[in-house]
Homo-oligomer: A and B are copies of this chain.
Amino acid sequence: MKNKKALCYVALLALMVWCIKGFWSNNTVKVKPLELDQSQQEFQQQVNRDDLLRKEHEISTLKVEMARLKMESSKCGLESKFSPEIPKIYAITPTHYRAVQKAELTRLSHTLMLVPNLHWVVVEDAESKTDLVTKLLAKTGMSYSHLNAATPKSWKPKAKEPRWVKPRGVLQRNTALQWLRDNVSPNEDGVIYFVDDDNSYSLEVFEEMRYLKGVGVWPVGLVGGLMVERPKINAEGKVTGWLTVWSPNRPFAIDMAGFAINLKLFHSKPNGKFSFESEKGYQESELLKHFVGSLNELEVKADNCTKVFVWHTRTEQANLAQEIKLRKENKPRSDIGIEV
């Protein structure tokens, strides 16, 4: 028995070595035509060809590694973890143009790429979908929907008005919610979560919410002027209030990143959405009142709300002092023909 197993592994190893060798010889064969080209083609073409070659090699090595990892995982019976039967997470992200937008969406996409069975609904605050976001989403290889909805001027903060005066992302989040009502079956297992493009998310938070039956809640770090804002939990493990300093008497004194909603529950309440009319800090309450009758219906997650799995980080506006100076002096901008 043992011998057979040993033999089997040896055979595997041999097979893999043979594969890798195979790819090497493939690549060397491929190099020849490229070298010939380099004498005739323009610089741009050479760049593309070399790039193509590098990417082909990368794909080969990735596939080799994948095969190895898949075997390892199968030994711990992990296949199920990746089965499409697990409830899907619909992550809703409103986004608007600013200098750091591409950087923010890029690093956020890396987090979401690591979450199994997640569908990313990205809604641009723009008259039409931008090339920047379109290309960025295509590159992720994720399952996603790309929408846009421009906030009316009357609801945009005026110059010098602090950014909290006007509610932000209302129209974009509602657009995403309407898209879910129109495009996702009421019978599908899943949850809805609002993912802002400047917050930081652990991978744990997504697994906390995946199997919610109703509305689940958990702490949020670095928000409301505190290290952490969180629900107040009693001995029975039920929510009795909110451990916040600012306006703890709101019906749901919780940040957008601190809750998720079961998809079937969402479908069962067709009026559940955000409103431009609700006062500052009441967007979450405005939405959740449709889905939650009383606090003790809330599902307490993150180890009885003692763990922080999401942080309300904020990215500084890019310092573009020199760029502005260039424009004043009618000098060319630094990013001509370059998407930043």
Q: Given A12-B8, A100-B222, A111-B107, A45 and B43 touching (CB < 8 A)?
A: no
Write 16 A-B pairs (CB below 8 A) sorted by A numbering.
Answer: A8-B12, A18-B67, A26-B30, A33-B52, A57-B138, A61-B85, A64-B113, A69-B78, A71-B114, A103-B313, A107-B107, A107-B108, A225-B319, A243-B334, A245-B325, A315-B316
Top 8 A-B pairs ranked by shortest CB distance?
A225-B322, A60-B141, A103-B311, A103-B200, A61-B141, A76-B76, A227-B335, A69-B69
Query: Which of B61, B207, B308 makes the CB contact (< 8 A) with A338?
Result: B308
Task: Knowing that A65-B116, A227-B318 touch, tell me 8 more A-B residue pairs with CB under 8 angstroms.
Answer: A1-B5, A47-B304, A57-B86, A57-B138, A58-B86, A64-B114, A110-B111, A225-B322
Closest Cβ neighbor of A335 among chain B residues? B227
Q: How large is the interface on A (under 10, 10 to 19, 20 to 34, 35 or more residues)?
A: 35 or more
Which A303-340 residues sit within 8 Å CB-CB of chain B? 303-304, 306-308, 311, 313-316, 318-323, 325-326, 333-335, 337-340
Would you call A187 an interface residue if the criterion is a C-beta within 8 Å of the partner chain's C-beta atoms? no
A326 to B246, CA, bound (A): 12
Chain A residues 1-40 with CB under 8 Å of chain B are 1, 4-5, 7-12, 14-16, 18-20, 22-23, 26, 29-30, 33-34, 37
B56 engages A68 (CB within 8 Å): no
Residues of B within 8 A of A323 (CB): 225-227
A42 at the interface (CB under 8 A from B): yes
CA distance A20 to B85 in the complex (A): 8
